[in-house]
């Protein structure tokens, strides 16, 4: 989600059109022989993995090459597909040179069988180590290239690459591979930010088909940006998809690195760097677990939560987000005045008339050298709207160091309004309930003026209607050496 310029990401309907025209092409120079041997050996020694269907259910079994056709005639289908640049791989329905071709084969099968929202068996696309170059220019018909973004709009697909993410002693992603192998998606030219082009797009449409249950694991995703140039495009973008798993990936150089809108997902052990506006953004309605990720610099916020995004009001009830944010390392988000290690919002982008309700548990994270360590604010309130958003946050075991401004900011307005940078709307009749086991509220900055009907409760106590902040856009009042009442020393 675009947290800086405040304009929404690409609308869902615009992307639905891309599914119909998506051409599946890929490739570059062959990878080394040893990189692809596991995939080839698996197919040759164990036969083929197929989904043996019994009614709506299915069981994955191994069958020989000679028995594959018989199973397919009875409605069984391949459950593992292989992608490799090797020229000597088998010429059959299980092996591809292009990731896009494998995705198309899996998608066509799902649609033909009517597996639109759920499936009898998961289909795994096992992609060998190497660099898979591509383009987001649909006018480019070069068959040696992948065409980005890869669109996933059918259920229970696994994209599995060769990167095995190395973790540090605390269980957080380092960014390197245990095996020194990786599968890289790389545009031949920087992604175009016009229209929000990117690498992986996940779409769910209850009236058609949905990319629910996608697992993306073991990939290095790069935007193709040139050294010193602006970050571009998105890494992973989802609309209303559930059951997603993003695990053990390395992503760098995107305006929107991971942007999950109205979805539910597990996002763990990913390494994110060189971001622009949105490093790791999650929006409701949805349920999320964000754990073991390392998020370095660049983006406006490291981890960003919103209860809704681009949603029309559907009734008096709120749009809710539930998230556990656990054991992540977030560093160096220093854009003035608005950046934070973790930001929790009350009113969603493009959804000012949708009451928001955020339920966030934040524990055991390391937040270092960010403008604000943790920020809880109204997010995107607009005048003449409902101005309603509630936040419930629990923190424990977090380590917050070297925050430029403050370790904690709590505001019933947008952060810039609370800091006196802009003039904007405040929430009305909203409640923030905070349980802080690791951050002393006596040192927090907050803005809760009287007369608006808002309630701020911290550790079971109601906080009076007042404002406290020492914001200075030109300096860091939270750095060591400043007065003790507002200093933050590592």
Residue 194 is predicted with a pLDDT of: 56
Instruction: State the Cα angle at 285 between 281 and 290, rounded to 5°.
Output: 40
User: pLDDT tier at 112 (50, 70, 90 boundaries)?
Assistant: very high
C-alpha to C-alpha distance for 456 and 413, rounded to whole angstroms: 13
Residue 20 has pLDDT above 80, yes or no: no
Q: E strands along 93-227, which residues?
A: 95-96, 123-127, 130-135, 146-147, 150-152, 157-160, 165-167, 173-177, 183-187, 198-203, 215-217, 219-222
- Paired residues of 434 in beta bridges: 393, 458
**Could you give phi then psi for residue 192, rounded to 5 degrees?**
-85, 125
| Radius of gyration, CA atoms only, the chain | 24
Residue 277 is predicted with a pLDDT of: 87
399-401 and 445-447 as β-strands: parallel, antiparallel, unpaired?
Answer: unpaired
C-alpha to C-alpha distance for 286 and 263, rounded to whole angstroms: 5
Residue 336 is predicted with a pLDDT of: 77
Lowest mean pLDDT among 37-41, 173-177, 357-361, 384-388: 37-41
- What are the tokens at 400? 């917050």
- Paired residues of 356 in beta bridges: 319, 389
Residue 398 has pLDDT above 70, yes or no: yes
C-alpha to C-alpha distance for 358 and 343, rounded to whole angstroms: 11
Residue 25 has pLDDT above 70, yes or no: no
How far is the CA of 423 from the CAs of 383, 418, 419, in angstroms? 11, 9, 10
Residue 319 has pLDDT above 50, yes or no: yes
Residue 29 has pLDDT above 70, yes or no: no
Which residues, at least 6 apart from 49, have a Cβ–Cβ distance to it below 8 Å?
A: 60, 61, 62, 78, 79, 80, 124
Q: How confident is the model over 315-323, as a mean pLDDT? A: 89
Which residues, at least 6 apart from 245, have a Cβ–Cβ distance to it below 8 Å?
A: 214, 215, 216, 217, 265, 266, 268
Distance of CA 273 to the CA centre of its chain: 13
C-alpha to C-alpha distance for 417 and 382, rounded to whole angstroms: 12
Residue with tokens 């798993």: 245
C-alpha to C-alpha distance for 62 and 57, rounded to whole angstroms: 17
Residue 165 is predicted with a pLDDT of: 98
**Could you give phi then psi for residue 458, rounded to 5 degrees?**
-125, 120
Greater confidence (250 vs 7) lies with 250
Residue 196 is predicted with a pLDDT of: 61
Q: How confident is the model over 464-476, as a mean pLDDT? A: 88
Helix, strand, coil fractions of the chain, as percent rounded to 5 = 10, 40, 50
Residue with tokens 């989600």: 1
Residue 314 is predicted with a pLDDT of: 66
Per residue in 330-349, pLDDT (tens digit) is 999 988 778 999 999 999 99
Q: How confident is the model over 80-90, as a mean pLDDT? A: 93
- How far from each other are the two terminal CA atoms of the chain, in whole angstroms? 31
Residue 472 is predicted with a pLDDT of: 86
C-alpha to C-alpha distance for 231 and 291, rounded to whole angstroms: 25
Find out whether 445 and 406 touch, Cβ atoms under 8 Å.
yes
Q: What is the mean pLDDT of the chain?
A: 87
Per residue in 205-237, pLDDT (tens digit) is 999 999 999 999 999 999 998 887 888 899 999
Per residue in 421-443, pLDDT (tens digit) is 999 999 999 999 999 999 999 99
Structural domain boundaries of the chain?
1-230, 300-490
Per residue in 168-202, pLDDT (tens digit) is 999 999 999 999 999 999 999 998 765 568 999 99
């Amino acid at each position: 989600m675009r947290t800086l310029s405040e304009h929404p990401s690409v609308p869902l309907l615009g992307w639905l059109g891309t599914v119909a025209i998506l051409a599946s092409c890929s490739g570059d120079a062959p990878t080394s022989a040893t990189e692809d041997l596991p995939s080839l050996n698996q197919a040759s020694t164990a036969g083929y993995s197929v989904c043996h269907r019994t009614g709506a259910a299915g069981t994955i079994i191994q069958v020989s090459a000679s028995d594959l056709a018989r199973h397919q005639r009875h409605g069984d289908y391949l459950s593992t597909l292989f992608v490799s640049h090797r020229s000597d791989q088998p010429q059959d329905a299980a092996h591809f040179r292009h990731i896009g071709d494998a995705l198309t084969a899996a998608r066509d099968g799902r649609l033909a069988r009517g597996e639109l929202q759920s499936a009898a068996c998961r289909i795994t696309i096992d992609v060998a180590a190497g660099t898979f170059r591509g383009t987001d220019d649909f006018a480019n018909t070069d068959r040696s290239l992948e065409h980005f973004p890869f669109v996933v709009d059918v259920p229970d697909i696994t994209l599995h690459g060769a990167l095995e993410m190395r973790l540090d002693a605390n269980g957080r992603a380092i960014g390197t591979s245990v095996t020194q192998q990786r599968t890289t998606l790389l545009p031949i030219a920087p992604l175009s930010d016009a229209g929000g082009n990117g690498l992986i797009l996940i779409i769910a449409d209850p009236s058609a088909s949905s990319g629910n249950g996608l697992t993306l694991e073991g990939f290095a995703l790069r935007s193709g940006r040139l050294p010193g140039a602006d970050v571009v495009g998105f890494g992973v973008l989802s609309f209303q998809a559930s059951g997603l798993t993003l695990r053990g990936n390395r992503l760098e150089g995107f305006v929107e690195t991971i942007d999950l809108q109205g979805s539910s997902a597990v996002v763990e052990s990913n390494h994110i760097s060189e971001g622009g506006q949105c490093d790791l953004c999650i929006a409701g309605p949805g349920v999320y677990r964000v754990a073991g990720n390392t998020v370095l610099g660049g983006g406006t916020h490291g981890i960003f939560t919103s209860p809704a995004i681009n949603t029309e009001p559907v009734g008096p009830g709120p749009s809710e987000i539930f998230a556990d944010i656990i054991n992540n390392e977030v560093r160096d988000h220093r854009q003035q005045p608005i950046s934070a290690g973790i930001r929790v919002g009350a009113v969603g982008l493009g959804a000012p008339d949708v009451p928001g309700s955020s339920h966030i548990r934040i524990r055991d994270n390391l937040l270092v050298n960010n403008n604000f360590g943790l920020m809880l604010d109204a997010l995107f309130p607009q005048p003449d709207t409902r101005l309603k958003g509630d936040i419930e946050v629990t923190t424990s075991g977090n380590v917050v160091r070297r925050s430029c401004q403050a370790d904690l900011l709590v505001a019933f307005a947008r952060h810039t309004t609370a800091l006196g940078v802009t003039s904007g709307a405040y929430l009305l009749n909203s409640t923030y309930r905070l349980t802080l086991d690791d951050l002393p509220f006596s040192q927090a900055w907050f803005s809760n003026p009287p007369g608006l009907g808002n309630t701020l409760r911290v550790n079971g106590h109601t906080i009076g209607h007042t404002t406290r902040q020492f914001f200075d856009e030109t300096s860091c009042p939270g750095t060591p050496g400043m007065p003790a009442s507002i200093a933050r020393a590592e």
